[in-house]
Structure 1
């Protein structure tokens, strides 16, 4: 595919997303019908689509409209490219620009440059102030780093870096966690590399690793990952425990379907349970949330989130905390985490929990902002007052 044909394809996929189709589904549907497209073509089209979704509002301003064609036109303008070289009408390129398209569009101003709905921007401003809110919003317009966790059950950082280099992958230590590596070259080779196949490294955001690294553990501790999902934090906790065992639970067990294979590759011991009924020294609740701290990776989510859905999520988060508290041993620690930058999902949920459970207090609260090192995360540690056993 030519660069122009990739732009035309991205515009068609964006139209499907605008009509309600999930971006991943639209990309998969296109790829299945485009046998002519090689791996580089598919990767380039995917990058175009996700770049446009991250900057949808500003690109629409610059392009003069919200359909896929004009969003891609606006994205080219924002990136300093000459649209006339792409919109030629030759071959599979987009049709030539009309006079109206040439004259249309304007530079994004004010909130348009934040690339998020105003109601979300309002909440960020109230929680963080204008300057910090603008910085958070604009960070979410960029591509997220590709980050690996070194599996200390099988390797260490220097050895992992060497193995990755042999796989044609360059990486550097990430300051957010001592097990984290930021990939600087060769990210698309990770899944086929020996370091990944042999369980020396796992794909995991650095802030997510930092959240797992903060969980208080002792060698004899019983640990429950209450919202395990795919098991990234489960495996990180298991590595800290010398292999485990870690008990993993999820309200939807299907989310954990890959966990046994991942644990086997990592050399970790994980016990999946449908109905945890014991007491645990540490209970991690990585609660369902808006995912706002990771919108760089799933940017369509920031356009689909509604105030009503956020309220639903808050109720789910409260319920999870209440249930997990019952599973936490008297002297244990209940760990709450979200990949969110919204105060309603973070500090507000901890404050609400403490209002409902007066015998508890927060011994730690920490937020990680989305930046060049990692995604946005929040975590808090809750313990019972004066607990001794």
Structure 2
């Protein structure tokens, strides 16, 4: 009885297959039976066709149209599984790529306003109290103080030139940069100074002291000092004094920096700790660090120490917190990392200081496990 029922069932499915009205579920059942009963014949009922001749024609037409159709049907479930798997992989890959893109672009999408890099600019305070803003495009003479001509060159630098050395210029000049500014000045003795962001130097307008050339520094600056054996060049800051005759060196005396650092490029300098009067003589590629009455000297990569002067961030040259401070000064922003330990974070690589802030933060994100969210001038750090 059960056998008759099965025969009738598959006769019915066979007729539906011939009529192309079979459903997917019925096709799977028919295919399973077909593969297990290839040696058996199936007689179709009279109701399924009008005549035997019509059945032969229909079967011949189907055979001609679909050679090896039974094998194709048998392969269909496997093809369906394979296609499903491929679709699954495609979806998974898309989700992965999308998630990665979202993470890579986290800084950008969270930014409400473009934060541009710093630029050339400074403020000059003359001996008589006048203030001159220097970021403008104007060039030429800016002031004349008792025989000293102060002008701005075509390449945007400040230039001092003594026209009459008979005048004894009284008072001092102060050149200062704010956050997001750098500037270059040529002093009256032809020495050249590059000021980093948030930095100021104070000096006699005429540099006419016969015994010394004195500059007071706050922040960070690079000096190329003209040689004058009769008048030593002295850079004084809160914790140290650097004495040179003619050489190239960099001094970092930022208030938030853990050390007062002097990095020598060429020549020699004498670095004195003002608290203890202890001193060290530096050789090229050496750096002195003064902290809590101690002076230590070590070899350094000069290019990394002077990256700021070359318009770069050397991300691996300082500890991570110092790197963040450098970014803060250049982009005029503030990081909020409350509860996030920073001492275990290390960086590597270089990036241009002309980059937008998002580019710099994106590079840091790719090399660490932290994320940045920009809210105006405030940047929130999270893990």
TM-score interval, smaller chain:
under 0.3
Q: Which has the larger radius of gyration?
A: 2
Provide the TM-score with structure 2 as the length reference: 0.25
Greater fraction strand: 2
Provide the TM-score with structure 1 as the length reference: 0.25
Greater fraction helix: 1
